[in-house]
Structure 1
Amino acid sequence: MPHSLAEKKRALARVRRIRGQLDALESALEQGRECGPVLQQLAAVRGAVNGLMSSVLESHLREEFSRADANHGVAERSIDDVIALVRSYLR
């Protein structure tokens, strides 16, 4: 869960954009659109959800690592390493 008010607002804005993308996807399916545009919309939805997951996970990891280790430099490098791995997995 995003911890600051600004992070929460950004996450909610992303969820609302995802909802709009899903509405557009539903409409395309109802209208019997060609597969190409439907697949493109699916890819956009997947990318948006992965982006949201990455953002929330990053916030969580930063919170957890910052509490767990008093040695800030080591913890910060560890966080960056884990975030890079997770981002590469989500793409």
Structure 2
Amino acid sequence: MPHSPEEKKKVLARVRRIRGQCEGVERALESGADCAPVLQQIAAIRGAVNGLMSEVLEAHLREQFGEPASDAASRKARVDEMTALVRSYLR
């Protein structure tokens, strides 16, 4: 999770843009907009969410692996956690 004020501000701005995009899709669906622009907006949201996921995942990796593990068990636990996160991200 981004912890520095600058990183946190950047991530929150991204979340707010995504929220705005989702609200735009909601309005389009309520008004009966054509499918093509709605699908294009959904694709843009998916790209934005992937970017957000990538940014938060990178911050987490830096946090977890920026310092050496205290022992082999701790290292294994951290690697297992990262493997699970990456697998869930790639689904």
Give the TM-score of the pair, scaled to structure 1: 0.73
Post-superposition Cα deviations, 1:35-78, rounded to whole Å, max 9, x if no partner, equal 10010010011111110000000000011111126xxxxxxxxx
Q: How does 1:1-91 map to 2 (within 5 A)?
A: 1-68=1-68
Kindly tell me the number of residue pairs found equivalent between the two proteins.
Answer: 73
In structure 1, C-alpha distance between the alignment counterparts of 2:20 and 2:41, rounded to whole Å: 11
Q: CA RMSD in A?
A: 1.7
Give the TM-score of the pair, scaled to structure 2: 0.73
What is the deviation of 1:34? 0.7
* Aligned-partner SS, 1:59: helix
Point out where structure 2 has 5 or more consecutive residues left out of the alignment: 70-81
In structure 1, C-alpha distance between the alignment counterparts of 2:41 and 2:15, rounded to whole Å: 16
Dislocated runs of 4+, deviation >6 Å: none
Instruction: Give % identity.
Output: 69
What is the deviation of 1:28? 0.6
Point out where structure 1 has 5 or more consecutive residues left out of the alignment: 70-81
